[in-house]
Amino acid sequence: MKLIYYADDDIDDLNIFKDAIESTEYQVVVFFSGKALLESLEEAERKPDIIFLDIHMPLQYGDEILVQIRNKSEFDDIPVVLVTGSLVSNQIDKYLQDGANYLMQKEASLLKFREILNTILRIDWRNFKWDSDLQ
């Protein structure tokens, strides 16, 4: 079974994510803060196959956690998806330069959320390059 780490301070969003991932081959470990995710990442015997980070969290934003992840070469091969309720176009380049592999907008509809999530989980990350037409 593949492993996902997901950090979000909103319990409802965490539950929607877990519901959306339920019928896939992934197991999800959720965190209420980026700090907790980082601590687990550094201590884990098994690295996650992919990391999802909510951008707007208290204490440290997801993009700040992204930079900390990318500063450690042992995590270079882990795709990181930044998740947000509103994707601000003038921030996209910054997130990509900081090392995000994908930018995902949160969806209110579980069906739509599941669709987007399934698309992301099928990506061949070794050959993927962000295209602004994706969102």
Q: Is the dihedral of CA 32, 33, 36, 37 positive or negative?
A: positive
Q: What is the pLDDT of residue 56?
A: 87
pTM of this structure: 0.92
Q: Is the domain 1-52+64-83+94-107 a CATH 3.40.50.170 member? A: no
Q: Which two tokens stand for residue 3?
A: 């492993």
Q: Is the dihedral of CA 29, 80, 60, 115 positive or negative?
A: negative
DSSP state of 23: T
Higher pLDDT, 30 or 59: 30
pLDDT surpasses 70 at 135: no
Using one digit for the tens of pLDDT, what is the confidence trace for 94-111? Answer: 899 999 999 998 877 888
Q: Which two tokens stand for residue 22?
A: 């339920």
Average pLDDT (71-94) is 88
Residue 92 banded pLDDT, cuts 50, 70, 90? confident
DSSP letter string over 31-46?
Answer: ESSHHHHHHHHHH-SS
Average pLDDT score over the chain:
88
pLDDT surpasses 70 at 133: no
Strand order in the sheet with 2-7: 26-31, 2-7, 50-54, 80-84, 102-105
pLDDT surpasses 60 at 134: no
Distance CA 39, CA 118 (A): 27
Q: What is the pLDDT of residue 132?
A: 57
Q: Where are the chain's structural domains?
A: 1-52+64-83+94-107
Q: What is the pLDDT of residue 46?
A: 93
